[in-house]
Amino acid sequence: MGGLHLDVKYKVICEEIAKNIREGLYQDTKKLPTEEELIEQFEVSRNTIRKAIDLLTRKGLVIPIQGSGVFLRSVSMDGAINLEDFHGLTHGFGENHVTTKVNSFKLIEADEKLAQVMQCEKGTPVYFIERLRSVAGVPYVVEYSYYNRELIPYLSEEIVKGSIYKYIREELKKSIGFVDRVITAGILNEHDARELGLTPGEPSLISTNRAFLKSGVIFDYSIDIHNYKETKFLKLSNYL
Amino acid sequence: MGGLHLDVKYKVICEEIAKNIREGLYQDTKKLPTEEELIEQFEVSRNTIRKAIDLLTRKGLVIPIQGSGVFLRSVSMDGAINLEDFHGLTHGFGENHVTTKVNSFKLIEADEKLAQVMQCEKGTPVYFIERLRSVAGVPYVVEYSYYNRELIPYLSEEIVKGSIYKYIREELKKSIGFVDRVITAGILNEHDARELGLTPGEPSLISTNRAFLKSGVIFDYSIDIHNYKETKFLKLSNYL
DNA sequence: TATAATTTGTCCGTATGTATA
DNA sequence: TTATACATACGGACAAATTAT
């Protein structure tokens, strides 16, 4: 799940509690055990428990209220993309439900404009991929992606058919550090409309993304044209 | 900043550093001083500095890289709504640039459907407000808002003309706890198109929001129909 | 209504690990 | 290899908000 270093205590505990939440373990009280109880349960310090809860909070699963407890944040996330906890479509919807049609897969050289947004040299070899991704058989998003080959040295039709992010994490063992996402609405052109089973001129929900490795370099630039009838972005924020 | 309890050390330090960033103090190195230096500068513990940096990271201003430093995250936020750090239009764009036209302002009773989304009793008195908000003279968003009068006991035409959130924070002295936001795209109807100076059938970028007080109750439910030609949502995420 | 108990929030200090330069 | 700089983890003390008595 992105962080990958699951050997870290607070992340393990976070995952464990998240699993408990999914399985409905806290449904009677609608809140987590107290910090004190979790400390005993996991045999770690208070700081570590608090870091785990902080992670759960940032993912939008719980909301701590001083003096009262850590409450489940019951929001229906089904069929929505949680912007706080997004690691690719397959991770969110399950590998079985997501099917991918590869419309284009080629190696190109970055022109001036692409080089600028990807913060690389002009002429850098870049994989260009166009994919139509469907969820449960329904066209969901047309993705236009660019991957810097100097950072992602090998991609194949096979990999591109599945989850590229999963490949980067699990095979290349590279850690994704952070992502910039700009969300807008636009008008479908003929090509994208046809792919999505919609009509040109209808709206689209667009996400333009730049993904960075932990070292701070951009390895992926992509433009996602979403089916506006199917896509919901979820943003669960806490006041800072 | 919303949290308001600026008497808390790490929030004060966060604001201080944010101000420094805005003023270009770290532009030469493009990174913050080391934790050690910040500890000396602010005369606090390492934990407190780290909490401040954590806040800055969550707001999307910096990105810490282990072994290297805390780097400025140079993303142009101009004209965009940063989903991580949003406390009302006026807060983001400046009070002078935002003008508000109140199209409707009345007290109603929550019907079954509204009561359900606002998690209140059917029949609860609720303020209904329709506003057109413009930025620098350009129509930006049509807002349909519902405020629970049992939580926000008084609203006037005057307040509604300005920033309601500011009023809640500064006059009512209530702390906003968290917000659920669902972002979708839709098709403009005749009314909203006219308000936004667009054409019916054109796209809209829609944000449907529920805002909670720290105690966990919903005080505001609103549907924002954004001018798709003007609005960009920004989501700067770190991998968790 | 007032008090005490419960529960999370802030802040301090220290030690050790890990990634980068 | 060494030094630097952030990450993880432990411990304790007190404050603040809520809940129960």
**CB-contacted nucleotides of strand C (7 Å):** 5-15, 17-21
The owner of tokens 């807060």 is B91
Do residue A177 and residue B238 have CB atoms under 8 angstroms apart? Answer: yes
Q: How far is the CA of A87 from the C1' of D15 (A)?
A: 39
The tokens describing B231, both together, are 């609005």
Do residue B216 and residue A182 have CB atoms under 8 angstroms apart? Answer: no
Q: Which residue, A130, A126, A83, A123, is CA-closest to A102?
A: A130
3-class state of residue B99 by DSSP: strand
A4-45 confidence digits (pLDDT tens): 446 899 999 999 999 999 999 999 999 999 999 999 999 999
Phi-psi region of B136 (alpha: psi -120 to 50; beta: other; left: phi over 0): left
- Answer for the pair B110, B122: CB distance below 8 angstroms, yes or no: yes
Which residues in chain B are contacts of A205 at CB distance < 8 A?
Answer: 183-185, 205
CB of B46 lies under 7 Å from some atom of strand C: yes
- Answer for the pair B184, A233: CB distance below 8 angstroms, yes or no: yes
Question: How far is B192 from B195, CA to CA, in rounded Å?
Answer: 5
Which residues in chain B are contacts of A232 at CB distance < 8 A?
Answer: 182-184
Q: How far is the CA of A46 from the C1' of D13 (A)?
A: 14
Query: B86-106 burial, b if ≥16 CB within 10 A, otherwise e?
Result: bbbbbbbbeeeebbbeeeebe
Q: What is the largest CA-CA distance in chain A?
A: 60
Which residues in chain A are contacts of B80 at CB distance < 8 A?
Answer: 182
pLDDT at B22: 93
pLDDT at A177: 86
Nucleotide of closest approach to B214 (CA, C1'):
D17
Q: State which H helix or E strand residue B232 sits in.
A: none
3-class state of residue B71 by DSSP: strand
Burial of A84 from C-beta contacts in 10 A (0-12 / 13-18 / 19+): buried
Question: How far is B162 from A42, CA to CA, in rounded Å?
Answer: 49
- Answer for the pair B91, B163: CB distance below 8 angstroms, yes or no: yes
CB under 7 Å from strand D: A 5, 8-11, 44-48, 51, 65-68; B 32, 34-36, 47, 50, 53, 64-70, 214-215
Instruction: State percent of chain A over pLDDT 90.
Output: 74
CB of A32 lies under 7 Å from some atom of strand C: yes
Q: How far is B124 from chain A (nearest CA, A)?
A: 22
pLDDT greater than 70 at residue A3: no
A148-198 confidence digits (pLDDT tens): 999 888 899 999 988 888 888 778 878 788 999 999 999 999 999 999 999
- What is chain B's pLDDT, residue by residue, as a tens digit (240 residues)? 333 446 899 999 999 999 999 999 999 999 999 999 999 999 999 999 999 999 999 999 999 999 999 999 977 777 899 998 878 888 888 777 899 999 999 999 999 999 999 988 899 999 999 999 999 999 999 999 999 998 888 899 899 988 888 888 777 777 788 999 999 999 999 999 999 999 999 999 999 999 998 878 899 999 999 999 999 999 999 887
Q: How far is the CA of A67 from the C1' of C7 (A)?
A: 4
pLDDT at B214: 81
pLDDT at A2: 37
Question: How far is A3 from A176, CA to CA, in rounded Å?
Answer: 8
CB of B48 lies under 7 Å from some atom of strand C: yes
pLDDT at A125: 95
One-letter amino acid at B110 equals A
Residue of B71, B185, B240 lying closest to A59 (CB–CB): B240
Burial of B195 from C-beta contacts in 10 A (0-12 / 13-18 / 19+): buried
Burial of B190 from C-beta contacts in 10 A (0-12 / 13-18 / 19+): exposed
CB of B216 lies under 7 Å from some atom of strand C: no
Do residue A177 and residue B65 have CB atoms under 8 angstroms apart? Answer: yes
Does the predicted model carry a pTM greater than 0.85? yes
